[in-house]
Structure 1
Amino acid sequence: MANPFPSPFVVEAQTSHTHTAILLHGLGGHGEHFGTELIASATSSGQHRTLQEVFPGMKFLFPTSRRTRSTVFKRAKVNQWFDISSLDDRTHGEEVGIDGLAETSNYIRGLIQIEIENGIPAKCILLGGLSQGLAASLYTLLTLNPQLQIGAYIGMSGYFPFVKDIEKIIQGEEDDIGSDDIFGTEDDEADSTVAQQTKGETNLATQAVNFVRENIDLSPLEPSATLSCLDIPVFIGHGELDERVSLETGKRARDALQAMGMNVTWHQYANLGHWYKVPDEIDDIVEFIQQWLEF
């Protein structure tokens, strides 16, 4: 089957190619527009170097989403990684986005695999995105091959799709089939109590990852499966004045990932709307990458 996505915008490494960053644009965006501006953003320290100058061995890959009909924009065609039903409440009518999340995450996982096949170690791959690009790349992150651990993840001004369901799972509020069985014995109840007491944080994290996987029609993992995705360090930055994805929505994503056991570095920026802050956030991203990627 032919790839339905446009060709990514690629900025080749300035020196020997040792690392790759795959970064997704937001709703209505475009890989080239997003990428051109991002890699030109400079740090505040030293010689005010751009991301490309700070990481000369890094290839930057900026995919572009498909142009599809949007529910929220009255069926007009827009660039979107997945469909949405509301701009005000990202948790409303999320079901319309499931097919897009499945298709996008599959596509981005494929791009990661191509980089690995071309000789770039998984630990030298950076994944991330802005706004809806954060949402889509986060689903990609959580549905990677269970034993594949890329180097790091960066997200800006975005959200976690179906976060309400993840919160219920992490809090142990998911439906327990058979819990109201009127024919259950005292021994059954005792067994159930022990099972609940031994259901640790790792088990809940597995359930959360499996919800994400099954939500986009991937097979669930066994309870004992390796969850390498949860060991990938995460950076999330968010503007305090974000008018499109509220600060609280961003915090819910952070809190859910932390509850799943992930190492999340969080930064919020004063006087920033729905974008990334230059140079402050660029400085923080550079520091994060230097801390976690192998150079």
Structure 2
Amino acid sequence: MSASPYTTGPSAGHAHTHTIILLHGRDSQAQEFASELFESEASAPEKPGPESDRTLPALFPSVRWVFPQATTIHSERFDVEMSQWFDMWSVENAQERIELQVPGLLFSIASIRALIKEEELLVPRKRIFLGGISQGFATAIATFFADGSGGFAGLCGFCSWLPLADKAALNMAKEGLDQHRHMQRLYVTDDDEQQESPSQAQLISTPILLEHCQDDEVVPIGNGARMRDLLGRLGISVEWHDYEDGGHWINEPQGVDYFVRFLRENLH
């Protein structure tokens, strides 16, 4: 990563109990993503109470929010330098020209894995959520498989897709293959041959929330649904929500409500 992550929280007077790592989308910035996310509000409770501020930092005052910053990579298609976790030819068809994606994806995975280890010095992994939006969550889910250990409090993805999904689907069709080991090998370098085999039980038991808006004009909802289905074929249970509107963002307030509920249900 080219810069240190943007971090905020926990709120004054609150001990640090959990960390939420969220990766921004392509051509965005960590602090920009954080600012826009923290402007999103959950619905007001049915019964009036002291929680008048319904933003995420107010609802989770003991959380340390970590927003990693992607490096600047040359875009082959647009011939410009841009902030992205990996280069790609088409966001709509994320499987097109995947050879452009692999180098940046592997680099970003290694960076996020190093960041996770740093956060584990502060709180145990079972109290760390990993997620992101668009290309950010694509990188996060790939990191999840590359790491192979599972054990996170949960994964949270918005309007995203599974990188190298065609390769994943092709190998899932082969009988007798260790599917979780294969998924791990998709997202590690040749230097990581000594990588420990993935913990199938930990991977399967990790709760995952996926949300996507039907009117997303950047990443078609079909890409997100395919990720959901492929994860299901691996035995991973996914909580899926789609919405009529919201575009390439988190639906408000319902999508924010489900995000809040998911976090609360898994704050161990």
TM-score of the superposition, structure 2-length normalised? 0.90
Does 1:70 find its partner at 2:43? no
Does 1:106 find its partner at 2:81? no
Does 1:132 find its partner at 2:129? no
Equivalent position amino acid for 2:152 in 1 = I
Matched with 1:204 is 179
Taking the aligned partners of 1:205 and 1:97, their CA distance within structure 2 comes to 21
Over 3 Å counting, the alpha-carbon distance change for 1:245 and 1:220 in structure 2 is farther
Shift of residue 221, structure 1, vs aligned partner: 5.7
Q: Is the 2:214–2:221 contact (alpha carbons within 8 Å) kept by the matching residues of 1?
A: yes
Taking the aligned partners of 2:90 and 2:161, their CA distance within structure 1 comes to 13
Q: Is the 1:84–1:94 contact (alpha carbons within 8 Å) kept by the matching residues of 2?
A: yes
Query: 4+ residue stretches of structure 1 with deviation over 6 A?
Result: none
Taking the aligned partners of 2:196 and 2:164, their CA distance within structure 1 comes to 22
* Identical residues among aligned pairs (%): 29
Q: Is the 1:16–1:57 contact (alpha carbons within 8 Å) kept by the matching residues of 2?
A: yes
Taking the aligned partners of 2:233 and 2:191, their CA distance within structure 1 comes to 24
2:252 aligns with one of 263, 269, 278: 278
1:250-261 to 2 correspondences below 5 Å = 250-261=224-235
Matched with 1:142 is 145
Taking the aligned partners of 1:284 and 1:246, their CA distance within structure 2 comes to 21
Does 1:84 find its partner at 2:58? no
Taking the aligned partners of 1:90 and 1:239, their CA distance within structure 2 comes to 17
Aligned residue pairs, count: 259
Equivalent position amino acid for 1:250 in 2 = G
TM-score of the superposition, structure 1-length normalised? 0.82
Taking the aligned partners of 1:16 and 1:149, their CA distance within structure 2 comes to 22
Taking the aligned partners of 2:150 and 2:227, their CA distance within structure 1 comes to 22
Taking the aligned partners of 2:64 and 2:196, their CA distance within structure 1 comes to 35
Does 1:12 find its partner at 2:9? yes
Give the number of the structure whose alpha-carbon radius of gyration is greater.
1
Q: Which runs of 5+ in 2 are unaligned?
A: 46-51
Taking the aligned partners of 1:35 and 1:222, their CA distance within structure 2 comes to 34
Q: Is the 1:170–1:208 contact (alpha carbons within 8 Å) kept by the matching residues of 2?
A: no
Q: Is the 2:150–2:199 contact (alpha carbons within 8 Å) kept by the matching residues of 1?
A: no
2:56 aligns with one of 33, 51, 54: 51
Does 1:226 find its partner at 2:199? yes
Q: Which runs of 5+ in 1 are unaligned?
A: 173-195
Name the SS of the counterpart of 1:213 in structure 2: coil
Give the superposed CA RMSD.
Answer: 1.9
Taking the aligned partners of 1:284 and 1:41, their CA distance within structure 2 comes to 13
Q: Is the 1:152–1:234 contact (alpha carbons within 8 Å) kept by the matching residues of 2?
A: yes
Taking the aligned partners of 2:149 and 2:214, their CA distance within structure 1 comes to 36
Matched with 1:37 is 36
Deviations 1:29-82 (A, max 9, x none): 000000012123111032351111111100101111111211121x20000000
Q: Is the 1:24–1:129 contact (alpha carbons within 8 Å) kept by the matching residues of 2?
A: yes
